[in-house]
Structure 1
Amino acid sequence: MSTAPTSPPPINTSKLLTQDFFPGDHSMAHGCPHIKPHKRAGEILSNYQVLTRYSLHYKHRHALGILPPAKKRSRSNEDQSLPKTPPLPTPACVMCQSSLGRIHACLHCVFVGCWKSEHAQSHAQETGHPFSMEISRCGLYCSQCKDFVYDRDFDGIHNIETVRNSEIVSMIQEPGQKRQRYSKWHAGNKEAAIIRAGTKSKICQGLRGLRNMGSTCFMNVILQCFIHNPLLRGYFLSDQHSSKRCEVKGDCMGCEMDQLFTQFYSGTKTPYGPCSFLHTMWMSSSELAGYAQQDAHEFFISALNQIHAKSPNTKLHHCSCVIHKTFAGVLQSDVTCLNCANVTSAFDPILDISLDLRPTRRSKSNGVNKMRGVDEKNDGPNSLADCLDRYTHPEKLGTNEYNCSKCGKTGQEATKQLSMKVIPPVLSFQLKRFEHSMGASKIETKIRFPAQLDMTQYTASARKLKKNKLAKLNGGSESGSPSTPSSSSSMSSVSSNSSVLEPIPTYVYNLFAVINHQGKMDTGHYTAFAKHRGEWFSLDDHKVTLATQKEVLDSKAYMLFYVKQTLDYDFPNAVRD
């Protein structure tokens, strides 16, 4: 099943909004004074809707099946009978054919130009067409204001098309999934008055250096990752934990987080010294007290636990505090008996995932010593995908480690495999660079990691889908030992066909922060990269400099932070289910 962008019906200009968010407040009609006469004609609204639909379809072209196959594969007669869907054209400048950077589409004509070579700006100046749409983000740009502008009608069109696109993708990729649909919220007169009375306009900053107060770089990088975490930012900036109204007596990490966000978004650009945050951590976690260099990951876990502990309505199970809403996931462990194929599952809550960098040598098979996730040239793992493959690959248990409850045999051979039952909105990875087994040492292996990560193949639902397809290939029967030759050959054929597991948008994550460690274990230094308003920045204590994505992806990462591209509508209920 596939789909392609279709032309939407014309915009009804009689239903345009004449005021902004607050009813009765005509002083906030629009963010741009030049847009109203163009909107009345309706042409730029209709063009914006068409371009937004195209942009969303192009962004999810893999899931929608509107891309040609990457490689020529042998197809069955049934596959050959399916009609071929033409691929969507890549957005590119009509002047220089560049598809990199910011590509703008004129909302008055069919011109598409790049920003880097100023073809988009030249077109607007020569033709007098002031409005264009930045295709990748659907941003509305006004050449007269020389800035991106906000307008409720355009924002409404974007929201409608986003919901429509998500529903199409859900029907294609998750036909049996029942999701709670998006419902728009409107402020009434009473709510609008409360918001106006309690709102003060301030300069929106959010980018600031942190002073090193004596080997505190480990804390600074974690705080920067907290600040640039979209979910934590939304929680604390919406005043859901206010230090002025907090009823917690004593040191409260939630209040420290609230003060931290207040300082970063105060408009002040000079470096900030988080003395109060450090003192509160010392009082809450005695093992972190003092001016010795600490591990950033240990500080991260300790900070999460302290924020959770002082949050209101904290629970041991199904906690709805900001930490669990942001970082909490569920890991599924399946133990399969090799005698009767009985599967025993266990579930463990997690806040992050720690990945080994060194491969484990496996037993010889057919005279060949295989090492999963090892690059033959570099003799070691070289990507985040390799680490995740090993993390979720079946592991053979010892003969005395498992007793099967079904076949009643003790000391039975079995395999154990991990997968993600519930993936959190924010994924935190620790790459285990520090070893303590044979003396303290650091692994300097460079691990490649992507800017966008698809976690589909590591989920329990994807494994179940793969198992069902395998059962169909075996004639609809799942009986027999998992180690039988027919099962193994079928599994190999399923794994080689990438069409078995199509990417599902709800499992796609975008990188937003990276922590690096330079030097030795005890004398090293922590730095970070963070994404702020679409741009990458290097954060080295008080130094904040612009960075490129290439610099980020080329760094030797110690911790990685990814955020879901499409967030669940009601995540707490999803965790309970």
Structure 2
Amino acid sequence: MATAPSSPPLIPTSKLLTQDFSGDHSPAAAHGCPHLKQMKKSSEILTNYQVLARYCLHYKSRHALGILPPRDRKRAKLEKQDSSSSTKSLPTPSCLTCDTTLGRIHACLQCVYVGCWKGEHVQNHCATTGHVISMEINRCTLYCSTCKDFVYDRDFENIYNGELLRNAEIVSMVQEPGLKRAHFIRWNAPNKEAALIRAGTRLKPCQGLRGLRNMGSTCFMNVILQCFIHNPLLRGYFLSDQHSSKRCEIKTECMGCEMDQLFTQFYSGVKSPYGPCSFLHTMWMSSSDLAGYAQQDAHEFFISALNQIHAKSPGAKLHHCGCIIHKTFAGVLQSDVTCLNCANVTSANDPILDISLDLRPTKRSKSGVNKIRGTHDNDGPNSLADCLDRYTHPEKLGTNEYNCSKCGKTGQEATKQLSMKVLPPVLSFQLKRFEHSMGASKIETKIKFPAQLDMTQYTTAARKLKKSKLAKMNGASENGSPSTPSSSSSSSSSSTNSSVEIIPTCVYNLFAVINHQGKMDTGHYTAFARHRGEWFSLDDHKVTLASQKEVLNSNAYMLFYVKQNLDYDF
């Protein structure tokens, strides 16, 4: 069994200052709080912070590490009955005064007290004991009761980053023991390079939020551009000058240059709404179907924009392309066709840039209980998980749709099942709300979607693992004691419906949502996007703060998720 990574050593108190590019090398530059600076002379507070940060990170990864508190698992009853059970568990952080687990739990760094902020128990503790510094459990941030504010310190940040890396390595070894990864190497700039960075760097206020003018039914374009702007991978690519409009050899109609100009405008410091006239004109010249001032479909514009950016990227290829579009959105969908006569499986792989999901309106039950896959809000019959279940469920083919190459029978019955062989870094969904079969109509069915999405059970590897486990169970029942047909069938169905263990690289976080209000031809597009940890409502030139509850309750048309743990690009 692989050993856990060694704990990063604490920084000696004589060398607490970390590298600084700001140009200010005074000791005060590393400390955001004079009270914390005084307390750092003793390494005790650093040790306490490291222990608490490690506990918080392990608690956040408790599902992946299998160290859940007993009340988080249904098998707690079985563990109580079995005295020999050695299942590890982590205690849930709760206030020592009122025993609540809500209300922003703080842990004192000078003693063993844990209290809630909402009930003012941690404030009362600091006032009565004279203790100054506490740590907010959820985010591992420092709070000074004397300054009455959260404070920043680069040395504590360095400890937190070390624990974050260690926790990620442990989770990777537990969940994916055979996966080879590149070793993380910390980079420190030499004195000469640090001087160049200081000389060539100009600090600007945090930007990236800006409204877009509606230039005549162009809301479909505005929402897509906002989703591009808040896409972490596209943002990192264009803000690092990977495609510069000043150095580009393509002089006209280059969508990469238009994206570069778009990011330049959003991060220029100007707060007034921006009119992307040049982007719209280039799209008109590149795609004649989108030309004109008629209302267009946002998903069609999204696909067309991706194709145009890919086509003008340097070294663009039809297969195994390394452009930014394929590095960001490209995945591989596997289709398995199984012959029902000889069980022969024929597989085919198709590249995809997004997933389009069908919607099936369902009637509300009279009792109001419409959840079929659990107790969470996003697990009802009209949920994203339900749409993905239908998308990857085996589908029976017609007698004239498949000819088996193994048994040689024509018109043989078979089943077809889809699964994700390669998951993209950014996963985009289109919910098919517009129907054109019997006239144009729009499906208004409410689809619930989560802020964090686990795609493990929809991958090809998970399907193979589930089949192998089912085969072993069937083999054990045949070789062991005889079982009744009812018991064998029930065990088979339960094993099929049971979900596999979560793989960290298959977990996604929501960062953008596109909504459509109104009728099909005369409606209006709006969007939500996550920026610096906060949600914002984007309605053309209007940019307002929004809550996550408002986002998750919206009637979504397109959803954008980014991987929580990105893979290394070898």
* TM-score normalized by the length of structure 2: 0.87
Which residue of the partner structure matches residue 355 of structure 1?
357
Structure 1 residue 83: Cα displacement:
1.5
The counterpart of 1:249, out of the listed 248, 251, 274, is 251
Residue 402 of structure 1 deviates from its aligned partner by 1.3
What letter is aligned with 1:464?
K
- The equivalent residue for 2:157 is 155
What percent identity do the matched residue pairs reach?
78
Q: Structure 2 CA distance, aligned partners of 1:52 and 1:182?
A: 20
Indicate conservation of the 8 Å contact 1:511/1:562, yes or no.
yes
Structure 1 residues 114, 536: CA separation in 2 closer, same or farther (over 3 Å shift)?
Answer: farther
Q: Is the 8 A contact 1:327 1:428 kept in 2?
A: yes
Cα gap change, 1:399 to 1:449, in 2 (>3 Å):
same
Partner of 1:71: 74
| One-letter amino acid matched to 1:38 | M
CA distance in 2, matches of 1:318, 1:31: 48
2:553 equivalent in structure 1:
554
Question: Is contact 1:474-1:490 (8 Å) kept?
Answer: no
Equivalence for 1:38:
39
Aligned-residue Cα RMSD (Å) equals 3.4
Match of 2:309 among 307, 310, 326: 307
Distance in 2 between residues matched to 1:322 and 1:17, nearest whole Å: 39
Q: Is the 8 A contact 2:135 2:143 kept in 1?
A: yes
CA drift at 1:265: 2.0
Can you list the C-alpha shifts for 1:217-276, whole angstroms capped at 9, x where unaligned? 111111111111112222222222222222222122222222222222222222222222
Residue 503 (str. 1) matches residue 502 (str. 2): yes
Is residue 200 from structure 1 mapped to residue 208 from structure 2 by the alignment? no
> 1:109 corresponds to which residue?
111
Residue of structure 1 equivalent to 2:431:
431
Does the CA-based 8 Å contact 2:333-2:418 persist in structure 1? yes
Q: Which moved more, 1:557-566 or 1:44-53?
A: 44-53
1:13 counterpart letter in structure 2: P
Change (3 A) 1:97 1:487: closer
Task: Report the CA distance between 1:122 and its aligned residue.
Answer: 6.2
Q: Secondary structure at the match of 1:474?
A: helix
- In the alignment, is the contact (CA less than 8 A) between 2:13 and 2:42 conserved in 1? no
Provide the residue aligned with 1:133 in structure 2: 135
Q: 1:340 aligns with which of 327, 339, 342?
A: 342
Which is worse superposed, 416-425 or 253-262?
253-262
Conservation of the 8 A alpha-carbon contact between 2:10 and 2:159: no
Residues 314-365 of structure 1 show CA distances to partners (whole Å, capped at 9, x for unaligned) of 22222222211111111111111111111111111111110000289xxxxx
Question: Which of residues 164, 167, 170 is equivalent to 1:168?
Answer: 170
Secondary structure of the structure 2 residue equivalent to 1:538: strand
The yes-or-no answer on 1:404 pairing with 2:412 is no
Match of 2:88 in 1: 85
Amino acid at match of 2:534: E
The 5-angstrom pairing of residues 174-323 of structure 1 reads 174-323=176-325
Alignment of 1:442 with 2:442, yes or no, is: yes
- 1:187–1:298: structure 2 CA closer, same or farther, 3 Å change rule? same
> Could you tell me which residue of structure 2 aligns to residue 513 of structure 1?
512
| Equivalent residue number for residue 368 of structure 1 | none
Q: After superposing the two structures, state which structure 1 stretch, 468-477 or 206-215, moved more.
A: 468-477
Q: Distance in 2 between matches of 1:463 and 1:124?
A: 53
Matched letter for residue 232 of structure 1: L
The Cα of 1:12 is off from its aligned counterpart by 4.5
Counterpart of 1:465 in structure 2 is 465
Q: List alignment gaps of at least 5 residues for structure 2.
A: 363-371, 374-379, 479-484
Equivalent position of 1:57 in the other structure: 58
* SS of match in other structure, 2:446: coil
Number of equivalences: 546
Mapped partners of 2:178, 2:139: distance in 1: 30
Cα separation, partners in 2 of 1:199 and 1:9, compared to 1, 3 Å: closer
Q: Within 5 Å, which residues of 2 pair with 1:387-398?
A: 387-398=387-398
Question: Are the aligned partners of 1:217 and 1:526 in contact in 2 as well (CA < 8 Å)?
Answer: yes
Alpha carbons of structure 1 residues 267 and 553: separation in structure 2 relative to 1, 3 Å: same
Deviations 1:352-392 (A, max 9, x none): 110000289xxxxxxxxxxx99xxxxxx9410011000000
**Aligned mates of 1:23, 1:266 — CA distance in 2:** 21
Q: Distance in 2 between matches of 1:497 and 1:8?
A: 36
Shift of 1:132: 3.4
Shift of residue 39 of structure 1?
A: 2.5
Aligned to 2:524: 525
Deviation of the 1:294 alpha carbon: 0.7
Cα distance change on mapping 1:425 and 1:237 into 2, 3 Å: same
1:2–1:66 Cα contact (<8 Å) kept:
no
In structure 1, what is the Cα distance between the partners aligned to 2:269 and 2:103? 29
Q: Is the 8 A contact 1:332 1:418 kept in 2?
A: yes
Whether the 8 Å CA contact 1:64–1:172 is kept in 2: the answer is yes
- Partner SS for 1:493: helix
Deviates more, 1:248-257 or 1:171-180: 171-180
C-alpha distance in structure 2 between counterparts of 1:513 and 1:112, whole Å? 35
Instruction: Indicate conservation of the 8 Å contact 1:2/1:85, yes or no.
Output: no
Q: Tell me by how many angstroms 1:451 deviates.
A: 1.0
Task: Quickly say closer, same or farther: Cα 1:176–1:147, change in 2 above 3 A.
Answer: same
SS of 2:189's equivalent in the other structure is coil
Deviation sequence 1:542-574 (CA, Å, 0-9, x none):
11122111111111110111111111122xx5x
By how many angstroms is 1:396 displaced?
A: 0.8
Whether the 8 Å contact between 1:182 and 1:569 is mirrored in structure 2 is no
SS in 1 for 2:495: helix
Distance apart, 1:17 and its partner CA: 4.0
- Is 1:492 the counterpart of 2:488? The answer is no
Task: Please say which of residues 117-126 and 43-52 is displaced more in the overlay.
Answer: 117-126
Please list the CA deviations of residues 414-459 of structure 1 after superposition, one character each: whole Å capped at 9, or x if unmatched.
Answer: 1111001111111101000000011100000001111111111000
Structure 1 residue runs of 5 or longer lacking an equivalent are 361-371, 374-379, 479-483
Contact 1:328 1:424 (8 Å CA) reproduced: yes
In 2: Cα distance, 1:299 partner to 1:550 partner: 28
Residue 387 of structure 2 aligns with an amino acid whose one-letter code is C
